[in-house]
Amino acid sequence: MSDLSSTPLLRTALVWSGIVTLVLAVVGGVVGLIVAGTSGLWSALVAVLMAAVFLAFTIVSILIANRFYGDPLFVPIFFGAVMGGWILKFVVFLIVMFLLRDQPWLAPMVFLVALVASIVASLIVDVVVMMRMRMTTVSDATLPTAAEVEEGERRPGDSTGPQA
């Protein structure tokens, strides 16, 4: 089983997203603390952590699904893992939002700004990683070897191809 050419790309995106998340947590926490006190600090940290977990979940589900590359059921496994992950992520997101909705310590505007900033930063990281990676236009494709081509031309009973 060989690795897909997208695996290093996804791992790089995951690492850089983690680094950006740490920076956002520090900046968001400090700004939240200045703007809304302790509740702003916690609101920013929860929003940044929430965005990081949900955005990383997609990359991790793709990396797990890529482990089945070469399996005859790779395509259904891949799409099942990714779509199932998205559905699970959506349900968990709704549950978390309902739980956070009426919390007295939550500063809604700080939470919203930190969440949106985290999502935008993650998307920027994904775009930069994709633009900088060097991948061939047709990746993970293999061409037949000369022996396989010759073997294909010498089918028994074939009068058009060269005979041995």
Spell out the residues 6+ positions from residue 32 whose beta carbon is closer than 8 angstroms to its own.
Answer: 40, 41, 42, 43, 44, 45, 107, 110, 114
Tell me: the pLDDT tens digits for 13-56?
A: 889 999 999 999 999 999 999 999 999 999 999 999 999 998 88
- Residue 1 pLDDT grade (very low, low, confident, very high; cuts 50, 70, 90): very low
Structure tokens at 147: 């022996």
Q: How far is CA 112 from CA 23, 42, 43, in A?
A: 17, 12, 9
The amino acid at residue 155 is R
- Say what the pTM is: 0.73
Percent above pLDDT 70 for the chain: 85
Which DSSP category does 20 fall into? H
